[in-house]
Amino acid sequence: MMKTARRIAIVLCLLIASGCARSRPKDPYRFVPGERLSFSLSYDSESASDFGAVFAKAGGRAPNVPSPMKQSFVTTVRATMTVTVLGRDNDVVTAAVRFAEAEVALKVNGLDAESDAARIAADLGRPVFARINRRGRVVSVLGDPVLGTTSRGYVSSLLAIVQFVFPADWRPSSGSWTVEEDGPNGTAVVQYRRTAPGETPKTADSLITFIKSKEKDLPAPKKAFSKTREISRTVLPKGEVEATFDTARGRLVSLDGTETEDFLVNEQPVGRARNTIHLAYRGTDRPNAGEMTALADAERAMAAVAAPVSLSTDVAAENLEAASYGQDLGDATLESLLAELKAADETGGPRFDTTPLYLKFRALIFLHPETCAALGDVLSRARTDGLAMKVLTTALNAIGHPEAQSALADAALKRSSDEKALFKLLFTLSTVERPTPEAEQTLRTLMDGNPDPNVVVMARLSLGSMARRLAVTAPDRATALVQKFCDGLAAARTPEVQKSYLLALGNAGSAAALSAVRPFVGDANPDLRAAAVRSLRFVTSSEAESVILRALSSDPEAEVRAQAVEALADRDMTPEAFAVEKDSFLNDASVRVRLALMKNLWKARSRFGGVRSLVEGAAANDRTKEVREAAGVLLKSD
């Protein structure tokens, strides 16, 4: 009886083991340590971005509005992509990936960037170490710390676009599936669909062709700009890539297609990218022992100074950042860069590309903070409309460490009577990510002790902007500034001074200011009512929204209603706001107000039904020509 029971147990165990073995299908990829796969690669990319509209909305017509930013890049890469399998750790393999013999062409803002292209080509030839799971998804990448920021971006883009990822339960008979893949813009949901027999010619029974398309990019976490202001980013993918996979040999054979991505910030279109890939398998060989040893040694050396990251990770490790800036700086020194900047300032025309100089100064400021004092001295004498002012303020703001802020503060104090220069210096100083006490005190000094009332107003508005950033990094300091503005507003006796405090509170965007602002929403002076309504744009409470909506629907002055619309444009539209804005669009007497409302409604068309038909009706039958024409433009843009 005992023997029979033991036999039954053994049989059951075998059956269970057999069932478990069958539950996991054969891995689609055949990763063999010591093998090197080679592919010919052709990659073409065009991208353009324009954040001007976003910046304009963020600042309205306030004096601290930055200029619109436009950029465009056109890139071609021709290379041999090699994937050398180094080893396997359970379900993940490590492979050295290179883009050898790379030929890179790059245009930035319409101008050839030959030196940058040469650097990218050299960097693409360096091996990066990708960890790839058994289904083909790139889990993480370990790169050489000396790779420049731009080069790392291209490596990530190339690795992302050549991924071919199977589902966990894939079998050769699988027809379609959906998986997640990582890339430079985050994580995307990607659909694979097997082509129907005869839809695509095949040369062997083991070759299967699929159509790969991104369904959507998963929403990126909102980036807090302050405690009351968040920036939401959206990526809308389109396009298809045809992929052929050899199921018998477990390898990708080809990729061929184009993907496009539209980028939105707070539902506002800001850019588009178009990427075309042609990848073709060329062959497999086995590197000699010396080559394999060199790759293994390189991986260990990189792992000692850097950490592997996801393709969707923004690499922020300081050692990688420093190495990248070192690559940007090269052999340049403070003296050589100042000489180059002086020559450009004297002879550079309107089409002069400041990007190379900016990148070098940014790297210098990061790596050598001690040079900032000298840069501040240059700023104290620079022409307001010159290249030196543009390059140095931008670079110092981008790094924003205490030494950079000290240089900006010193230049601002030395030019305290130069309104045009202060306009640029104070904006730059007020928008650093982590304002220092010295930077704050500089703005306080200019606000409290300058005899020029225009300078006082600029400093006050700049302190408001600084308070919004301090709400994240130093809340107590932000609270003190907001209280100072509230006290100043209460003590002010002229409409001009009252308005400047209202605008400063608006830049600060603190909910604590609502009680101080509210009385001015009903002031007899329409200019003050408009400023008060506008000052609530960054206050996210429903109470603040109700105040704005009431002004839109009932204030007798068109300027006040227009400022209410502008304030609503900076907020996420709620159902309550949609109802009021729609009603006001249909009934307001001001063409300016109605045009702004139509733009707000159009931006929210994906979340609220009936917007398209509303705009179509306006294009066909609106009572004013301006609204009809603007509605037609919106419809054509979609």
Question: Which of the residues in the chain have pLDDT under 50?
Answer: 1-24, 55-68, 201, 223-229, 314-320
pLDDT at res. 25: 58
CATH 2.30.230.10 fits 33-325, yes or no: yes
- Where does 39-102 have alpha helices with state H? 52-59
Residue written as token pair 């703001």:
397
CA distance 165 to 171: 13
Q: Specify the pTM.
A: 0.54
Range 99-102, long-range pairs (CB < 8 A, 24+ positions): 99/41, 99/124, 99/125, 99/155, 99/158, 100/125, 101/125, 102/77, 102/78
Distance CA 166, CA 212 (A): 11
In this structure, the number of other CB atoms found within 10 A of the CB of residue 449 comes to 11
Note the pLDDT of residue 150: 81
3-state secondary structure at position 157:
helix
Q: What are phi and psi of 65, to 5 degrees?
A: -80, 130
Instruction: Note whether 133 and 139 are within 8 A (CB).
Output: yes
Residue 467 CB burial class (10 angstroms; 0-12, 13-18, ≥19): buried
Question: Can you give the pLDDT at residue 302?
Answer: 85
Here the tokens at position 328 are: 């940007």
- In angstroms, rounded to a whole number, what is the distance separating the alpha carbons of residues 500 and 561? 19
Angle at 400 between CA 399 and CA 405, to 5 degrees: 135
User: Residue 233's CB: how many other CB atoms inside 10 A?
Assistant: 17
Alpha carbon distance 490, 102 (integer Å): 66
Q: Given the structure tokens 């809308």, which residue do they identify?
A: 236
Q: What is the pLDDT of residue 299?
A: 93
Q: List C-alpha distances in Å: 119 to 77, 102, 284, 333.
A: 13, 11, 28, 19
Residue 185's Cβ-side half-sphere holds a number of Cα atoms within 13 Å equal to: 22
User: What pLDDT score does 308 carry?
Assistant: 85
Per domain, the residue ranges of the chain are 33-325, 334-466
